[in-house]
């Protein structure tokens, strides 16, 4: 069993202290592990197997962090990195599968023997990714919430703990983030329509 690099706790602590390089290292590490795991799944996946991407994130957490108890802040850093990495991987796969066909609610991208299904009602992964990029510059706090909630699969409660914020704040800001993303995705659709 791969127990991961032993200094992960130190890395997370460094991120907690605001070490930018550590943030990059963490992201790279999580990204590599997610890819590796997704790859392993692809190779050995029995038929009909579905795994939510967020379950994959949790699996990576178990693998890398394992049984060590981490502070909520550190868990937050980890899941934020994992959420970012997940987003990158999903987007990359969507791109590699070629142009997405538009129209219809649910879009499905097949590649190799794996498919990625995204159910983002009014937009697809790439549009969502673009919107997220914009959100990061305008609303970094809310961007963080979406990354944890949606891409890393944390609950509101977990997100609140990870961000050291009251649950009510997270719920309020999550509401805003959804509305904002929804509005942005719709606006983009209009802009891009011929």
Residues forming the site for another protein (CB under 8 A) = 1, 38, 41-56, 58-59, 62-63, 67, 69, 86, 90, 113-122, 125, 134, 137-139, 142, 146, 149-151, 153, 172, 175-176, 178-183, 186-187
Cβ pair 142, 169 in contact under 8 A? no
> How far does CA 11 lie from the centroid of its chain?
20
Distance CA(86)–CA(121), nearest Å, equals 19
Could you tell me the smallest distance in angstroms from the CB atom of residue 125 to another protein?
Answer: 7
In the complex, what is the shortest distance from the CB of residue 21 to another protein, in angstroms, rounded to a whole number?
Answer: 26
Cβ at position 76, least distance to another protein in Å: 17
Neighbours of 89 (CB within 10 A): 18
Nearer of residues 95 and 182 to another protein, judged by Cβ? 182
CB 125 within 8 A of CB 95: no
Q: Which residue has the tokens 């009602």?
A: 121
Nearer to another protein, 47 or 103 (CB): 47
CB nearer to another protein: pick between 56 and 81: 56
Instruction: Give the nearest distance from C-beta 41 to another protein in angstroms.
Output: 7
Contacts for 16 with CB less than 8 Å, ≥ 6 apart: 71, 73, 74, 77
- The residue behind tokens 């904002």 is 180
Q: Which is nearer to another protein, 58 or 95 (CB)?
A: 58
Comparing CB distances to another protein, the nearer of 76 and 124 is 124
Q: In the complex, what is the shortest distance from the CB of residue 90 to another protein, in angstroms, rounded to a whole number? A: 5
Rounded-to-10 torsion of CA 151, 156, 157, 159: 40
């Amino acid at each position: 069993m791969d127990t991961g690099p032993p200094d992960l706790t130190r890395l997370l602590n460094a991120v907690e202290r605001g070490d930018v390089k550590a943030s990059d290292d963490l992201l790279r590490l999580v990204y590599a592990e997610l890819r590796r795991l997704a790859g392993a799944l692809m190779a050995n996946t029995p038929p009909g197997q579905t795994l939510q991407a967020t379950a994959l994130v949790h699996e990576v957490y178990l693998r890398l962090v394992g049984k060590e108890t981490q502070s909520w802040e550190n868990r937050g850093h980890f899941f934020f990195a994992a959420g970012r990495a997940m987003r990158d991987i999903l987007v990359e796969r969507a791109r590699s599968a070629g142009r997405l066909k538009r129209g219809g609610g649910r879009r499905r991208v097949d590649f190799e023997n794996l498919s990625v299904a995204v159910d983002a009602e009014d937009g697809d992964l790439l549009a969502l990714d673009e919107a997220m990029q914009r959100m990061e510059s305008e609303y970094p706090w809310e961007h963080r919430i979406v990354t944890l909630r949606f891409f890393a699969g944390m609950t509101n409660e977990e997100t609140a703990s990870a961000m050291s914020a009251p649950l009510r704040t997270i719920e309020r800001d999550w509401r805003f983030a959804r509305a904002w993303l929804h509005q942005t995705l719709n606006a983009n659709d209009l802009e891009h329509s011929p």
